[in-house]
Amino acid sequence: MSTDHKGAYVEYAPLNEPKPFGENVWIVDGPEIRMDLGPFKVPFPTRMTVVRLADGGLWLHSPIAPDEGLFAALDQLGEVRWLVAPNSIHYWFMADWIERYPEAQTLAVPDLDVKAKRPFRIDAKLEDGTRFPWSGEIDWLLVPGTSFSEAVFFVKASQVLVLVDLIENFEPKRVKNPLQRWAIQLFRANGSLPYDARLTFRPKIREVRQQVARMLAWPIERVTMTHGKPITEDVPATLKRAFRWVL
């Protein structure tokens, strides 16, 4: 853990460096970003997930801010062939990664072609039931919402579940601002989907429940998400608690 962090959230150091998280799976923690939440700018740690496929190509989930050192590290792991924008609010840096890897195929949840405030090239949409060349190695499904939807992925060989916001697992002890620590606990952003974000799924709750049940049927051993501490212990019970709001 970094102890000299100058931002509002103590980072998951080292940043911009692939860290093993399973067989041919790496997580990369990025710099803190500030997101608009009403009149406030709220700090969020960032993370992307990298999977090396059987053909040697790299599959990148929720690309973080571009960094030359990170590009070099990934080029040592393999050829970047897939760039994935996995939900309606995690896409901002796709354009930067497309510029760096123009031959990579880009995937996005269905509404980003009209909702993205920073447009980028979308080669295919993550519409439920669609198969891709990597589908034999990575299972996936779409959890539909109103203001945002999220595609979730399961890397079969390593039994890793890859999420964005369906679980936010902020650690209050890493947050410097006491008011923000209180808000994280109040809104259940320390191990579940925050209360405010759940509202987007309420109008489609039956379909959401079905998709979450399908997801939890995967033999999951580890979970990584974009914001907060990955889940590596007591995984079945932790997931059951995290999704109690919908099951």
| CATH code (residue 88) | 3.60.15.10
Strands (E) in 38-123, as ranges, are 40-52, 57-61, 79-85, 105-108
Q: Is residue 147 part of a domain?
A: yes
Share of the chain residues as helix, strand and coil, in percent rounded to the nearest 5? 25, 30, 45
Residue 37 · residue 3 · CB < 8 Å: no
Residue 156, domain member (yes or no): yes
- Candidates 68, 105, 109, 104; CA nearest to 86 is 109
pLDDT in the model for residue 9: 62
Per-residue pLDDT 10s for the chain (247 aa) are 233 345 666 778 899 999 999 999 999 999 887 655 444 456 678 999 999 999 999 999 999 999 999 999 999 999 999 999 999 999 999 999 999 999 999 999 999 999 999 999 999 999 988 999 999 999 999 999 998 899 999 999 999 999 999 998 877 666 666 666 555 565 566 668 888 788 899 999 999 999 999 999 999 999 999 988 999 999 999 999 999 999 9
Counted domains in the chain: 1
Q: Helices marked H in the chain — which ranges? A: 68-77, 94-100, 112-115, 178-186, 195-198, 205-216, 235-242
Give the domain range for residue 144.
19-242
| CA gap 136, 149 in Å, rounded | 23
* 182, part of any domain: yes
Residue 45: its pLDDT value, please? 85
pTM given for the model: 0.90
92 found inside a domain? yes
Three-class secondary structure of residue 127 per DSSP = coil
Domain membership of residue 158 (yes or no) is yes
Dihedral over alpha carbons 26, 138, 91, 129 (to 10 degrees): -170
pLDDT of res. 184: 58
Instruction: Quote the pLDDT of residue 95.
Output: 98
**φ and ψ of 118, to 5 deg:** -125, 95
CA angle 95, 49, 64 (to 5 degrees): 35
